[in-house]
């Protein structure tokens, strides 16, 4: 069984974030679709510094949807990191990052409480002409983070390529704070049913 349980027995149904306008509106849609530093955006939104709390880091097991996105066979062990991004003691976002255990670079394996986004964007900025860090289109889903019994919420994910012959890194971020809870879908995203908001 996967190490991270879901609120449903079905895996998350990921949709392109480019379709976010069908389900979301206003600033939250902008937040979901943003491709810059989420930590900086959250700090601006909360009006307070963002702290990172580390809950798990190291070898583990992946969900089926994670293995599929990484292009890994069923049952393969992965490296995973689970953190929460917090402001003033409130958990705003829960993040789970996974990659193949083999090929996980030391700077990723030892991130600890450092913000992953800062590290990724800093590496890209140091040598942009070499395109060391590349990011896939963002996808979104209505799902649970799978750790700390955090609630089902809107999540987003994207795949980062860290360089030639490097294992890709899948970063998943779930907007669990109650300020985002008004964007609850009336039904599960299945590609055929629109979501409605109260």
- Residue 192, pLDDT > 80, answer no
**pLDDT > 70? residue 94:** yes
Phi and psi, residue 85, nearest 5°: -100, 125
Give the model confidence (pLDDT) of 118-159 as tens digits: 777 665 555 555 557 889 999 999 999 999 999 999 999 999
For the chain, give the number of residues. 198
Q: Say yes or no to pLDDT of 166 above 70.
A: yes
If you write DSSP's letter for every residue of 112-167 in order, what string do you get? TTS-HHHHHHHHHHHSGGGT-SEEPPPEEEEE--SSTTPPPEEEEEEEEE-STT--
pTM: 0.82
Measured CA to CA in angstroms, residue 78 lies from 14, 75, 81 at distances of: 20, 9, 10
> Which helix or strand (DSSP H or E) is residue 67 part of?
helix 64-70
Averaged confidence pLDDT in the chain: 82
Q: Per-residue confidence at 19, pLDDT binned at 50, 70, 90?
A: confident
Confidence bin at 64 (pLDDT 50/70/90): very high
The pair of structure tokens assigned to 133 is: 């860090």
Residue 104 to residue 109: CA distance in whole angstroms: 6
Residues with Cβ within 8 Å of residue 195, at least 6 apart in sequence: 22, 23, 142, 185, 186, 187, 189
């Amino acid at each position: 069984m996967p190490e991270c349980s879901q609120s449903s027995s079905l895996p998350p149904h990921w949709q392109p974030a480019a379709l976010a306008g069908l389900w979301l509106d206003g600033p939250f849609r902008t937040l979901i679709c943003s491709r810059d530093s989420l930590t900086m955006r959250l700090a601006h939104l909360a009006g307070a510094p963002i702290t990172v709390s580390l809950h798990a880091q190291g070898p583990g097991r992946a969900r089926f949807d994670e293995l599929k996105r990484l292009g890994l066979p069923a049952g393969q062990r992965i490296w995973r990191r689970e953190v929460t991004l917090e402001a003033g003691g409130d958990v705003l976002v829960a993040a789970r990052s996974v990659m193949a255990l083999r090929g996980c670079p030391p700077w990723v394996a030892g991130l600890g409480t450092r913000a992953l986004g800062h590290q990724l964007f800093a590496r890209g900025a140091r040598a942009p002409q070499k395109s060391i860090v590349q990011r896939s289109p963002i996808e979104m889903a209505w799902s649970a983070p799978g750790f700390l019994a955090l609630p089902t919420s809107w999540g987003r994910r994207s795949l980062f390529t860290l360089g030639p012959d490097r294992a890709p890194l899948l970063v998943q971020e779930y907007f669990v704070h109650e300020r985002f809870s008004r964007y609850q879908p009336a039904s599960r995203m299945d590609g055929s049913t629109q979501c409605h908001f109260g």
